[in-house]
Amino acid sequence: EESLQMWDLNKRLEAYLARVKFLEEENEVLRAEIQSAKSCPAGDLWRAKYEEELRALRDALDHAFREKRTAELARDNLYEEVQQVKSRCQKEQAARGEAKKLLSLSKKELEEEKRAQIWLKERAVQLEKEVGALLEVHEEEKAGLEQEIASFSQSLESFRCAPVAFQPVEVEDYSKKLSEIWKGAVETYKAEVSQLEGSLCQAKENLWKAVEDNQQNQLRLQLLEKDLAALKVRKEMLEESLARQWQEQRGEAEKFQLAMEALEQEKQTLRVQIAQVLEDRQQLMHLKMSLSLEVATYRTLLEAESTRLQMPPG
């Protein structure tokens, strides 16, 4: 059993010694490669190239951050312009509402003036009819008076024998009074007709003024609508440019995010590689220590075995 155990230990020792020799040879190869890489100028070139690429990436990142800041400032300016355009649109809408109110008031005044004109026309026609009726009545009364005067003159001719009882002065006074009354009534109707004509002219003037105000309000409304359409077009252009800048900024941000993720991934990869190298080195150290302990144990066992064999059989 001891010889079998020794034989097993010898096999393990041979395997460990072969593993140690292989690791030492690999270590020597790696050391030679490191020394050659340090002494070779190509390594410096690669290092300089990597440093230059890293510097270029940092410059690109700084430039991207500056562009991002510029885009943010442009976005803020565009937002302020959009707010100003919105405020102007609100003002224009308020002015348009006031213009519509003024237009509705002008329309109401125009309708009232039209109704007043219609009423004045009807009143003028009615007064003309009344004047015609009064003229007819006056003509009839005048004809009756003429007939009465004629019959009275005939009766006067028949009664020539009594000139003292006849008083033509009263008839003349009566006709004068009637003519004065007729003239007063005619003048009154003429004054009323002239007053109605004056009010009709005033109504016409008010109507023309209302029509002119309506036309001016319509022109102002058309100008306001044109300004509102121009402001809407400008607002749409600003919104399109803002959306386009947002998309460009988003694309650049995504690119920067992808670059940063790639760098972070590379960083994690390097960390994993460094950790793996450190772990391999730690395992090699533990393996070396265990091999050293086993070699020392085998050495003590061999020395004990050699001393036991060299001792005399007593």
In a domain, 90, yes or no: yes
Q: In this structure, is residue 28 part of a structural domain?
A: no
Whether the CB-CB separation of 82 and 243 falls below 8 Å is answered with no
Asked if residue 258 is part of any domain, the answer here is yes
Q: Does any domain span residue 34? A: no
pLDDT at 62: 85
pLDDT in tens, 229-245: 888 888 888 888 888 88
Q: How far is it, in rounded angstroms, from Cα 106 to Cα 175? A: 55
Mean pLDDT value of segment 161-177: 55
Domain assignment of residue 7, yes or no = no
pLDDT the model gives residue 169: 45
Look at residue 13 and tell me if it is in a domain.
no
Domain-embedded: residue 294 = yes
Taking residue 26's Cβ as centre, other Cβ atoms within 10 Å add up to 11
What is the number of structural domains in the chain?
1
Residue 130, domain extent: 40-154+175-310
Kindly tell me if the per-residue pLDDT of 160 is higher than 70: no
Reported as a single tens digit per residue, the pLDDT across 5-64 is 888 888 888 888 888 888 889 888 888 887 876 776 555 666 677 678 778 888 888 888
* Residue 9: φ, ψ to 5°: -65, -35
Q: What is the pLDDT of residue 40?
A: 65
| Identity of the residue numbered 78 | L
Q: Is residue 101 part of a domain?
A: yes
Do 93 and 235 form a contact (C-beta atoms < 8 A)? Answer: no
